[in-house]
Amino acid sequence: MIRNENRILQLLPLDARQQLLSHCELFEFVLSADLSVRGKPLSHAYFPREGFLSLAIDVDSHPPLEVGMVGPETMLGSELILGLAATPWRVLVQGAGAGWRITSATLRTQSENLPALRKLLQATLLARLHQQTLAAACQRYHLIAPRLARWLLMSQDRSHTPSFHVTQEFLALMLGVRRVGVTEAAGHFQDKGLIAYHRGVLTVQNREALETQACTCYAADKDIYDRLVNASI
């Protein structure tokens, strides 16, 4: 049973929300499923209520690298208001859950009919641009352990649970580092009692302490969202 609502939908005036939802359908996010392929048209936009998605990009023959994360706080497909159909990334369901989806054409039409929706979509698009720019700098300048702490906190924020499924191999891919680096950093956090990891299930045991280990980009990322999205309506 779905318990939460998508934050973007919550920010819409009631009449606009009801009109938009009349064109949406419930959608289940299945763990590890692909929602889009790089370079292919995005057929739908998604408003997660539970779970979260990873935006990963492939460069030449290198493994995929995560360049963004989408959860109940935002939506996937805001770029559709620009008239763009092809995406530069692959979208992977990293946390199972449920939400709403709407066809790309219908979202464009509704954004033209509902000024409040269009304003919110513009804000989410701008926020993602700022966050991805920050993520690029984070990957270049920050060490593995602080980046891992940031990723774990971001995942917990979106999963609404202290435990979620993730492998060290996937973490290494998403952070763009060797697996041994993730193993060492995760082992350090586990030794200090910050996290527990067993058979693919990671549990955040001391969130407050984990926040002290995260790089400054975690707080900066949330500040970007607050300034551009929460304040847009």
- At 7-21, the pLDDT tens digits run 999 999 999 999 999
Tokens representing residue 7 in the block? 């934050």
Domain encompassing residue 151: 143-214
Share of the chain above pLDDT 70, in %: 97
The pLDDT value given to residue 6: 96
118: in domain: yes
- At 157-212, the pLDDT tens digits run 998 889 988 888 888 888 889 889 999 999 999 999 999 998 889 999 999 999 99
Q: How confident is the model at residue 3 (pLDDT cuts 50, 70, 90)?
A: low
Q: How confident is the model at residue 1 (pLDDT cuts 50, 70, 90)?
A: very low
Give the domain CATH number at 183: 1.10.10.10
Say if residue 21 is in the same domain as residue 119: yes
231: in domain: no
223: in domain: no
| Ramachandran angles phi, psi of 122, nearest 5° | -65, -40
Residue 220 CB contacts under 8 Å (≥ 6 apart), including other chains: 134
Say if residue 98 is in the same domain as residue 153: no
Say if residue 122 is in the same domain as residue 23: yes
Say if residue 152 is in the same domain as residue 167: yes
Say if residue 126 is in the same domain as residue 158: no
The set of long-range contacts for 216-223, using a CB threshold of 8 Å and a minimum separation of 24, is 217/134, 217/135, 217/137, 217/138, 217/142, 217/147, 217/150, 218/149, 218/150, 218/153, 218/154, 220/134, 221/131, 221/134, 221/150, 221/154
Say if residue 147 is in the same domain as residue 205: yes
Say if residue 155 is in the same domain as residue 46: no
Cα–Cα distance between 29 and 92 in angstroms, integer? 10
92: in domain: yes
Domain ends where: 97, 123, 139? 139
Say if residue 209 is in the same domain as residue 194: yes
The pLDDT value given to residue 84: 67
Span 108-130, mean pLDDT?
95
- At 64-107, the pLDDT tens digits run 788 889 999 999 999 999 886 678 888 999 889 999 999 999 99
Say if residue 38 is in the same domain as residue 20: yes
35: in domain: yes
222: in domain: no
Say if residue 25 is in the same domain as residue 101: yes
196: in domain: yes
pLDDT > 60? residue 2:
no
Q: How many domains does the chain have?
A: 2
Say if residue 25 is in the same domain as residue 125: yes
228: in domain: no
